[in-house]
Amino acid sequence: MTKKTVQRDRVIIRFAGDSGDGMQLTGDQFTAQTADFGNDLSTLPDFPAEIRAPAGTILGVSAFQLHFADHDIMTPGDHPDVLIAMNPAALKANLADVPRGGDLIINTDEFTKRNLAKVGYEASPLEDGSLDSYNVHPVALTSQTVASLRDYDITKKQAERAKNMFALGLLSWLYGRSIDGTIRFLEQKFAHRPEVLAANLTALKAGWNYGETTEDFSVRYEVKPARLAPGTYRNINGNLALAYGIVAAGQLTKLPVYLGSYPITPASDLLHELSRRKDFGVRTFQAEDEIAAIGAAIGASYGGSLGVTTTSGPGVALKSEAIGLAVALELPLIIVDVQRGGPSTGLPTKTEQADLLQAMFGRNGEAPVPIVAPRSPSDCFDIAVEAARIATVYRTPVFVLSDGYLGNGSEPWRIPGPEELPDLTVSFCTGPNWESPDGTREFMPFARDPQTLARPWTVPGTPGLEHRIGGIEKADITGHISYDPDNHDRMVRLRQAKIDGIAESLDPLMVDDPSGEAEVLVLGWGSTYGPIGAAVRRARRDGIRVAQAHLRHLNPFPTNTGQVVKSYRRVLIPEMNLGQLALLIRSRFLVDAIGYNQVRGMPFKAAELEQVIKDVVANA
Amino acid sequence: MPESADTRPRVTAKQFKTSQEVRWCPGCGDYSILATVQAFLPELGVPRENIVFVSGIGCSSRFPYYVNTYGMHSIHGRAATIATGLATSRPDLSVWVVMGDGDALSIGGNHLIHALRRNVNIKILLFNNRIYGLTKGQYSPTSELGKITKSTPMGSLDYPFNALSVALGAEATFVARSIDSDRKHLTEVLRAASRHRGTALVEIYQNCNIFNDGAFDLLKNPETRDDSVIPLHQGEPVLFGKDGSRCVVRGTKGGLGVADTASVNPEDILVHDAHAEDSSWAFGLTRLADLQTMRKSPIGIFRDVERPSYDELMAEQMEQAQSGGPPELQQLLQGADTWTVE
Ligand code: SF4
């Protein structure tokens, strides 16, 4: 049977099943195949905090959404064109997001009376007509998989577990993805379990063949490769990009990296990846708690390493006092906060950007800390390198505010060549840095560089420069303990001036306004870059004039920020919090910014932001 | 990093003094500990620039300001964490940690036990004065039960920690105790601690003459000293009291006890072995002290055994990972799956 092929410019697929069904792995593999094919893409994994929530319940549903296209795209997409539902719970939890007319691929084997009852379906939605307005493809995924594996010496349970590979094979056929990469992946993963490997490969191919032979799938879809800027690409998620950025920062500064960390969702992958990078001289220390993790990083920085600590919001709260110490010591330190829903334990596996004010102000005393935030998964690499630049040049702790959406989401990344990376070579102070009035050359631990206001970084082991530092207030220049009121006032202002002065080293805030006549500016920071960008594009397609700017530096702001926000009639700030950047912009520049705020644990949808933009423009 | 071979003239105790005015209360036990440490440091044979003192917060934590080496006065309870990061990244340094009893056992208790079990190459001096001095006199985790202080007008309700029992329970490889006023003994203990590879915990009984004066008088007063202090000497029977009239023997309930030397079979007297792999005897020795009265307090080295230190193990892993020669950043960034757009 020859099948028709239909061209599409973009497709959004969502895999949904029980947390034990392997949906994240299936999504990852489909993504890898799609990246190989050359589409632009963006992903959104969404899984429960529990490792194995009760099977078959709504709580236990794990999903993975992938948006791929023949042009550059900015978000994982609002509404899936295709939903793969591995059980009734997955259907129930995700159906509302699928537009009428969308495709539903449903594993009918799981639609038993018991499973239906578990999620409150009185009758099977496959039979009661409630799915009539969708394009339903009922597939007996589990039993088809088991049937394809009956010749293998494996248990029924093992055979059933391969059903995600069957589904992957079917989808790969449907969208013309090559399964070669997945075959290689499985060969590696199950190298020592030949029976399981053979079963998975067979299920994968059976799924492909199923699509090719059954009547139910009469159409295949084709999404042509995207035209991206020339270069070598790979697919990468934010946590991996950030870890690589830290490795690169070590190479560029020529400092050994020292990571002190304590496991916490969604930042643990940074610890995992960096612990595998000992070949690059990266030392990792899994500490007894969050405080010890940053303490060790500070100790290592004191000794001349690039100290790093990685965590999420609750961990930052625990580290606050130590961050203040690093401010007082004026030593380089990178603090990575992969933000998640809060307060307290909050939503560990869901995204949010509500730690901005914690990073900005969450310490005792006047303790300014620079803040940078990546705007996309691949930008996590560049932002880590930038954080290392600021930390080492200005001898200060620096916050990197990533989030769960960036950390777990992935996109194609044009890999920078060595010549595109900055030289961040650091030099320690090894001799006198101060001339006293009588002309003698001396070492002064708190004499500052006139340009950057940074104090010297002098590491133990340097002969003749023995000195003591600490959290207690230090006298300007000499670094002796000082309780003098004037000195304290001076030191507080010096530390602030040093951080404020970083702005001089930043690129100006760029504004994107093709019409040049926009009266409304949409300002964002962090992971909202994609949704805001997509929404702005959509609005412009309808003739709306709107400008967009995105902050990667939150403290200090680029020097032209005030000028930018003051030159528009209205400034709209969408944030996944209750208005934290808006508060800073309003207080700093006396601009009556309009917030658009959501804390649902999920990124903004482009369609919804588009509407907000149109409303603001209409009322500007 | 500087070479360890050093042809410069040997440093003297005086060179370990700083220009900073020492600001402890007159009569504080910290003074004699400082003098003892400064006198001992030249013996270490480590260049001054390769020695680092790290402290937390408390009276004793001012210590680094008074020793002319590298030093960091950090935050309450966290000195061990900072020292861990420093020692594991810079194995060429001699890292010393100074903590008080509140610092080490209350706010920093978690870090202390984990440093001990990891056996990081740091030397911890725990100044135990059984009181909070810097905050002006509240009971501490080593204060005796029922202690009347500003925060416990009717007497403290919490049972005290036995610092050395805690340390042994935390798998410490070197555990010792000394007294601030006994400079000779303290020097011996510091010497042994400095030779130990891994974490060494030295508890120093320290008098706070302002808020807890006389806490250790029983151990210092010539009248009572002999009956209160049990000195530990490697390989020798554990005797104390006037002319060794008392001794330590195996007890009937699994622990250790004391007896009149004359009344026991000499073979039943415990012969001290700090190198014993099993820490049970060392633990038994820590249990002899009566924490209410301070009677029967052993001093000396309770335990001194070898176990690979954390920093050595870390260095081994680093070396192993780097055995393939310098890696290529570009190769790492590219990973397994790339595609090229022309
Ligand atoms: S308060 Fe006590 S411990 Fe502190 S300096 Fe004074 S005497 Fe020493």
pLDDT in tens, B104-157: 999 999 999 999 999 999 999 999 999 999 999 999 999 999 999 999 999 999
Give the A:B interface size as CB pairs under 8 Å: 200
Q: Which of B69, B90, B334 sits opposite A415 (nearest CB)?
A: B334
Statement: residue B65 has pLDDT above 50: yes
Mean pLDDT within A299-317:
98
Statement: residue A357 has pLDDT above 70: yes
Closest-CA residue to B246 (of B267, B263, B268): B263
Q: How many CB atoms lie within 10 A of CB B132?
A: 26
> Cα–Cα distance between B157 and A513 in angstroms, integer?
69
Tokens encoding A473: 């207030």
CA B134 to ligand 1 centroid distance, Å = 7
Q: How many CB atoms lie within 10 A of CB B31?
A: 15
Strand order, beta sheet including A553-555 = A283-286, A257-261, A306-311, A333-339, A397-403, A371-372, A553-555
Q: What percent of chain A has pLDDT over 90?
A: 92
Q: What is the mean pLDDT of chain A?
A: 95
Query: ipTM of the predicted structure?
Result: 0.96
> Cα–Cα distance between A331 and A311 in angstroms, integer?
19
Sign of the C-alpha dihedral computed for residues B294, B297, B300 and B301 taken in this order: negative
pLDDT value of residue B253: 85
Q: How many CB atoms lie within 10 A of CB A216?
A: 12
CA A319 to ligand 1 centroid distance, Å = 29
Statement: residue B88 has pLDDT above 60: yes
Mean pLDDT within A196-206:
95
Q: Which of A233, A298, A466 sits opposite B49 (nearest CB)?
A: A466
Instruction: Decide if B337 and A299 are in contact by the 8 Å CB cutoff.
Output: no
Atom of ligand 1 nearest to the CA of B23: 5
Statement: residue A4 has pLDDT above 60: yes
Statement: residue B167 has pLDDT above 60: yes
Q: Which of A234, A260, A461 sits opposite B334 (nearest CB)?
A: A234
Work out the pLDDT band at A1, boundaries 50, 70, 90. low
* CA distance, residue A177 to nearest chain B CA (Å): 15
B:250-279 residues touching chain A, CB 8 A cutoff: none
Residue A16, classified by CB atoms within 10 Å of its CB into exposed (0-12), middle (13-18) or buried (19+), is: buried
CA B38 to ligand 1 centroid distance, Å = 19
In tens, the pLDDT along A358-408 reads 999 999 999 999 999 999 999 999 999 999 999 999 999 999 999 999 999
Please list every residue in chain B whose beta carbon sits closer than 8 Å to the beta carbon of residue A230: 341-342
DSSP character for B103? I
Q: Is A77 left (phi over 0), alpha (psi -120 to 50) or beta?
A: left
B:106-125 residues touching chain A, CB 8 A cutoff: 110-111, 114
CA B214 to ligand 1 centroid distance, Å = 13
In tens, the pLDDT along A127-185 reads 999 999 999 999 999 999 999 999 888 898 989 999 999 999 999 999 999 999 999 99
Q: Which of B50, B318, B340 sits opposite A460 (nearest CB)?
A: B50
Who's near B148: CB < 8 A, 6+ residues apart?
B154, B155, B156
CA B99 to ligand 1 centroid distance, Å = 13
pLDDT value of residue A228: 86
Q: How many CB atoms lie within 10 A of CB A375?
A: 22
Residue B77, classified by CB atoms within 10 Å of its CB into exposed (0-12), middle (13-18) or buried (19+), is: buried
Statement: residue A264 has pLDDT above 60: yes
CA B122 to ligand 1 centroid distance, Å = 25
In tens, the pLDDT along B277-309 reads 999 999 999 999 999 999 999 999 999 999 999
Q: Which of B80, B92, B318 sits opposite A283 (nearest CB)?
A: B318
> Cα–Cα distance between A474 and A494 in angstroms, integer?
12
pLDDT value of residue B314: 97
Nearest CA to ligand 1 atom 2: B208
User: B125, B112 in Cβ contact below 8 A?
Assistant: no
Who's near B336: CB < 8 A, 6+ residues apart?
none
* CA distance, residue B311 to nearest chain A CA (Å): 11
Work out the pLDDT band at B6, boundaries 50, 70, 90. low
Statement: residue B187 has pLDDT above 80: yes
Closest-CA residue to A321 (of B311, B77, B263, B276): B77
Please list every residue in chain B whose beta carbon sits closer than 8 Å to the beta carbon of residue A461: 1-2, 49-50, 70, 90, 92-93
Could you give phi then psi for residue A191, rounded to 5 degrees? -55, -35
Please list every residue in chain B whose beta carbon sits closer than 8 Å to the beta carbon of residue A281: 318, 322
* CATH annotation of A511-618: 3.40.50.920
> Cα–Cα distance between A231 and B65 in angstroms, integer?
55
* Half-sphere CA count of A375, side-chain side, radius 13 A: 15
A:236-275 residues touching chain B, CB 8 A cutoff: 236, 244, 247-248, 251, 256, 258, 260
In tens, the pLDDT along A510-551 reads 999 999 999 999 999 999 999 999 999 999 999 999 999 999
A:283-312 residues touching chain B, CB 8 A cutoff: 283, 285, 287-289, 291-305, 307
Q: What percent of chain B has pLDDT over 90?
A: 91
> Cα–Cα distance between B53 and B76 in angstroms, integer?
15
* CA distance, residue A146 to nearest chain B CA (Å): 31
> Cα–Cα distance between A82 and A601 in angstroms, integer?
22
**Mutate: best of B72, B92, B199, B330, partner A, most A CBs <10 A:** B72
pLDDT value of residue B341: 86
Closest-CA residue to A403 (of A557, A600, A238): A238
Q: Is A165 left (phi over 0), alpha (psi -120 to 50) or beta?
A: alpha
Q: What is the mean pLDDT of chain B?
A: 95
In tens, the pLDDT along A556-573 reads 999 999 999 999 999 999
A:529-558 residues touching chain B, CB 8 A cutoff: none
Place of tokens 């808020």: B211
Q: How many CB atoms lie within 10 A of CB B150?
A: 12
In tens, the pLDDT along A248-258 reads 999 999 999 99
Statement: residue B81 has pLDDT above 90: yes
Mean pLDDT within B236-265:
94
Closest-CA residue to A46 (of A23, A72, A78): A23
Domain ranges of chain A: 4-222, 234-420, 511-618
CA angle A469, A471, A472 (to 5 degrees): 95
pLDDT value of residue B252: 80
Q: What is the amino acid identity at position B146?
A: G
Statement: residue A27 has pLDDT above 70: yes
Tokens encoding A434: 């101060």
User: A445, A413 in Cβ contact below 8 A?
Assistant: no
Question: Helix (H, G, I), strand (E, B), or coil: what is residue A573?
Answer: strand
Q: Is the Cβ of A431 closer than 8 Å to some Cβ of chain B?
A: no
User: B59, B79 in Cβ contact below 8 A?
Assistant: no
Residue A140, classified by CB atoms within 10 Å of its CB into exposed (0-12), middle (13-18) or buried (19+), is: middle
Work out the pLDDT band at A620, boundaries 50, 70, 90. confident
The residue in chain B having the minimum alpha-carbon distance to the alpha carbon of residue A281 is B318
Instruction: Decide if A470 and B333 are in contact by the 8 Å CB cutoff.
Output: no
Q: Which of A36, A289, A470 sits opposite B337 (nearest CB)?
A: A36
Tokens encoding A485: 């009121």
Who's near A147: CB < 8 A, 6+ residues apart?
none
> Cα–Cα distance between A119 and B26 in angstroms, integer?
75
> Cα–Cα distance between A290 and B81 in angstroms, integer?
10
Q: What percent of chain A has pLDDT over 70?
A: 100
Atom of ligand 1 nearest to the CA of B29: 8
pLDDT value of residue A53: 78
CA B65 to ligand 1 centroid distance, Å = 16
Who's near B188: CB < 8 A, 6+ residues apart?
none
Identical fold for domains A234-420 and A511-618, yes or no, is yes
Q: Check: CATH 1.10.274.10 for A234-420?
A: no
Question: Helix (H, G, I), strand (E, B), or coil: what is residue B52?
Answer: strand
Instruction: Decide if B327 and A251 are in contact by the 8 Å CB cutoff.
Output: no
Statement: residue B3 has pLDDT above 50: no
Q: Which of B2, B72, B337 sits opposite A461 (nearest CB)?
A: B2
DSSP character for B132? B
Statement: residue B4 has pLDDT above 70: no
Q: Which of B23, B30, B66, B134 for a ligand 1 pocket mutation test, highest count of atoms within 8 Å of Cβ? A: B30
Q: Which of B22, B23, B31, B59 for a ligand 1 pocket mutation test, highest count of atoms within 8 Å of Cβ? A: B59
User: A333, A303 in Cβ contact below 8 A?
Assistant: no
* Half-sphere CA count of A337, side-chain side, radius 13 A: 31
Show the ligand 1 pocket: residues with CB < 6 angstroms.
B 24-25, 28, 30, 59, 129, 133, 208-211
Fold of A4-222: Pyruvate-ferredoxin Oxidoreductase; domain 3 (3.40.920)
pLDDT value of residue A36: 86
* CA distance readout (Å), B321 to A270, A277, A278, B330: 18, 8, 6, 18
